Amino acid sequence: MSIVVTGATGHLGRHVVEQLLEKVPADQVTAVVRTPEKVADLAERGVKIATADYNAPETFDGLFAAGDKVLLISGNEFDKGRVGQHQVVINAAQAAGVALFAYTSAPGTLTAALADDHRGTEKALLESGLPYALLRNGWYHENYTENLAPVLEYNAVTHAAGEGRVSSASRADYAAAAVAVLTGEGHENKTYELGGDVAWSFTEYAAELSRQTGKEIANNAVSVEAFAGILTGAGLPEPLAATLAGVDASVEKGELVVDSGDLSRLTGRPTTPLADAIAAALKG
């Protein structure tokens, strides 16, 4: 039996593998990657490395074995038909008869276009008959804290979320939840709505940035259309800019408030405060 993690070179995947190694022997962990050179350090520590690509279905032939637990981390190639890519992994897992298939999805309340691929993948997974665990990850602190350069350059947090609130948590928090599901028992056919313990507004975010930097960081709320224009002006492709601006529209409607408590329950600890993530980013 192996615990198999796809997308293991990504930010979340790397966190998951590192945390798995604290719980299970390295030879029980398989990291699925497209570029094995990027995980040479994991191979040296005894992690099994499998090379496969969502866009090449044959690379998943025989990758899984009966009894494996699989974590499919959603792909980030928005222009390549993510549901089709994910279906490749589901089909291979179905053929092998894996014991559990976990998928990193999006909150059930999210109606933004970003959620469409997740809903499509969830449907495919449920139709496969595999024992599943839906990890409906909320927003990540790092979506904001890793993009502080323009905020600090212009002394403003620009967004289109109005007074909407976000229940974000750190990547490490979401990884810990995935590890709890992959190493625990009784998670078959469960759906977890995952988010941070404390929901915050952009007014509070700007205030916390001001406090930690000693600068006056303004809360610059704009329309969804204006925000999409700012993002394209910064070099993002129009479809991606529209998708991200659409998430802000969902934030304003309250769709990224997750108050289930599932994340801290699964991890057995409180989620990482936004202030801690800001502090880490400013140090980095």
Mode of pairing for the β-strands spanning 156-159 and 165-166:
unpaired
Report the alpha-carbon distance of residue 47 to residue 236 in Å, rounded: 36
Averaged confidence pLDDT in the chain: 96
Q: What is the DSSP letter of 72?
A: E
Helix (H) or strand (E) holding 190: strand 190-194
Least Cα distance to 202 among 221, 230, 183 occurs for: 221
Q: Does pLDDT of 260 surpass 80?
A: yes
What is the Cα–Cα distance from 196 to 284, expressed in whole angstroms?
22
Q: CA 16, 86, 78, 116: dihedral to nearest 10 degrees? A: -100
Structure confidence by residue, pLDDT tens digits, 110-158: 999 889 999 999 999 999 999 999 999 999 999 999 999 999 999 999 9
| Residue 137 near residue 194, CB atoms below 8 Å | yes
Pinpoint the alpha helices (H) of 155-223.
171-183, 202-213
Count of C-beta atoms within a 10 Å radius of residue 123: 11
Could you read off the pLDDT of 227-258 as tens digits, one per residue? 999 999 999 999 889 999 999 999 999 999 99
